[in-house]
Amino acid sequence: MIKKLSIVLLYFIFSQTLFAQANNYLRDTSLGNNKLILTFKYNIGNIKTLAIERNGLVKYIYDIKNGVLPKTKTISHYRHKGVKAFRIGQFNKNYLRIVIESYSKNKKNYSINGKILTIYLNASSKMVERNNYSSKKQHTRKNSHAKKKHKINHGKKTIIIDPGHGGRDVGAIGKGIYEKTLTLEISKRLRRELQKRGYKVFMTRTYDKYLSLKERTEYANARNGELFISIHANASAKGKPKQKYEGFEVFYLSLKNSDRVRKRRAYYKGKYYYSVSAYKKMISSWKIAKSRKLARGIRSKILTNVRKRYKLNDKGVKSSDFWVLLGSTMPAVLIETGYLTHNRELRRLRSKRYQERFVKGIADGVDAYYK
Ligand SMILES: [Zn+2]
């Protein structure tokens, strides 16, 4: 039996001229017997799913390509044994996101039949529709209680570390040493340091694997990271004197590029950097301010830590609109740890002692950010 979900969807009258036909509007949402049924305007195309398990709670994410929620409003006031939370929202311009937090694992999650997406919920429990105001209030109270409890037990801040490059994308090369190898090594060390300090850490990759920039930020977003730290190493441009360029720099997200970034982008000829115009609209000034704060803290703490023992060339804090920074929904920085093409810097960068000081600096910067 299919019951109508008591959703308050304020269908705004969109002018069709403003939106392309590709916009696949969510037309209807209903509850069946342990099924959530979503009907769209057009046939459903690409759908991406992800399940993240944490402390017995499984978060199922369904991203529907071209999906459009006419108006993001609270969509559900219902209870289902085993389902903790259910959300539908416009994840970004291109994807409608459905999130179901469940205490039970489902083997078969969903099926698509033309315009209809069916998500299967735990088969053993019954869904209860909740649609009046008092039950809504009750639900909210219950939810906030659960949230509080969650915070006490697992209130760790989640940091995403992104080791630059990987797989067929080796990155910069210095004396036969690949950037991808070094970034992974430093990232793992940083992970240990952050975990020691009580942070929850995810890495976009933990071995030599190719990942697109989009995959990196999508990974980070799906894990609800609070901060995104991308680790890279530099190389002097072709034809430039190699021993002239050394030092580290920290980039933060901005819509304005510093001159050097513009030059570099030209140098890479669009190999690593994508068109970003569509994403520019999504960046809030909040995110930029936070990213800048993080970048400044990290830079200053790296200097403090590393300069206790080494002479270090500080290339400062810069802004850029690298895709890897742009695509994440959290404050993001990109750290160029040093030049692989510089003999002394390469030697240092590969040493455990130098790496330890460097990652302590980054971790101190993260601590400072939260203070
Ligand atoms: Zn790089």
Q: Looking at 152, 168, 190, which one is the last position of a domain?
A: 152
pLDDT score for 195: 96
Q: Tell me: do 146 and 187 sit in the same domain.
A: no
- How far away, in angstroms, is 229 Cα from ligand 1 center? 13
Q: Tell me: do 13 and 61 sit in the same domain.
A: yes
C-alpha distances in Å from residue 122, one per residue of 83, 110, 264: 8, 12, 51
- How far away, in angstroms, is 240 Cα from ligand 1 center? 18
- How far away, in angstroms, is 128 Cα from ligand 1 center? 51
Q: Tell me: do 87 and 217 sit in the same domain.
A: no
For residue 249, what are the domain limits? Answer: 158-370
The encoded tokens of residue 119 equal 């998500």
- How far away, in angstroms, is 321 Cα from ligand 1 center? 14
Q: Tell me: do 137 and 188 sit in the same domain.
A: no
Q: Tell me: do 281 and 239 sit in the same domain.
A: yes
- How far away, in angstroms, is 157 Cα from ligand 1 center? 26
Three-state secondary structure call for residue 287: helix
Residue 212 carries which side chain, given as an amino acid letter? S
| Cβ within 8 Å of residue 276, ≥6 positions away | 321, 323, 326
Q: Tell me: do 226 and 259 sit in the same domain.
A: yes
pTM: 0.57
| Cβ within 8 Å of residue 365, ≥6 positions away | 294, 297, 298, 299, 300, 301, 302
Q: Which CATH number is 284's domain given?
A: 3.40.630.40
Three-state secondary structure call for residue 12: coil
CA angle 69-58-40, nearest 5°? 20
Q: Tell me: do 351 and 211 sit in the same domain.
A: yes
pLDDT score for 31: 67
Q: Looking at 92, 126, 152, which one is the last position of a domain?
A: 152
The encoded tokens of residue 228 equal 């995104």
- C-alpha 245/C-alpha 19 separation (Å) is 48
Buried-exposed string 149-188: b where 16+ CB fall within 10 A, e elsewhere: eeeeeeeebbbbbbbbbbeebebbebeebbbbbbbbbbbb
Measured in degrees and rounded to the nearest 5, phi and psi for residue 153 equal -75, -40
Q: Tell me: do 125 and 228 sit in the same domain.
A: no
Q: Tell me: do 22 and 135 sit in the same domain.
A: yes
- How far away, in angstroms, is 272 Cα from ligand 1 center? 9
Domain count of the fold of the chain: 2
The encoded tokens of residue 1 equal 């039996």
- How far away, in angstroms, is 195 Cα from ligand 1 center? 24
Could you read off the pLDDT tens digit of each residue along the chain, which spans 371 residues?
444 433 323 233 333 333 434 788 887 776 666 777 788 888 888 888 877 777 677 778 888 888 887 754 444 444 566 676 667 777 777 888 887 777 776 655 788 888 888 887 764 433 333 332 333 333 444 444 433 333 333 368 999 999 999 999 999 999 999 999 999 999 999 999 999 999 999 999 999 999 988 889 889 888 889 999 999 999 998 888 888 999 999 998 776 655 555 555 554 444 333 334 434 444 566 778 889 999 999 999 999 999 999 999 999 998 876 666 767 778 899 999 999 999 999 999 999 999 999 999 999 999 999 98
- How far away, in angstroms, is 173 Cα from ligand 1 center? 10
- How far away, in angstroms, is 307 Cα from ligand 1 center? 24
Q: Tell me: do 87 and 206 sit in the same domain.
A: no
- How far away, in angstroms, is 179 Cα from ligand 1 center? 7
Q: Tell me: do 250 and 353 sit in the same domain.
A: yes
- How far away, in angstroms, is 15 Cα from ligand 1 center? 43
Q: Tell me: do 287 and 183 sit in the same domain.
A: yes
Buried-exposed string 343-367: b where 16+ CB fall within 10 A, e elsewhere: eebbebbbeeebbebbbbbbbbbbe
Q: Looking at 152, 172, 203, which one is the last position of a domain?
A: 152
Across 83-209, where does the E strand assignment appear? 83-90, 95-102, 110-113, 116-120, 127-129, 158-163, 173-174, 177-178, 200-203
pLDDT score for 74: 41
- How far away, in angstroms, is 74 Cα from ligand 1 center? 41
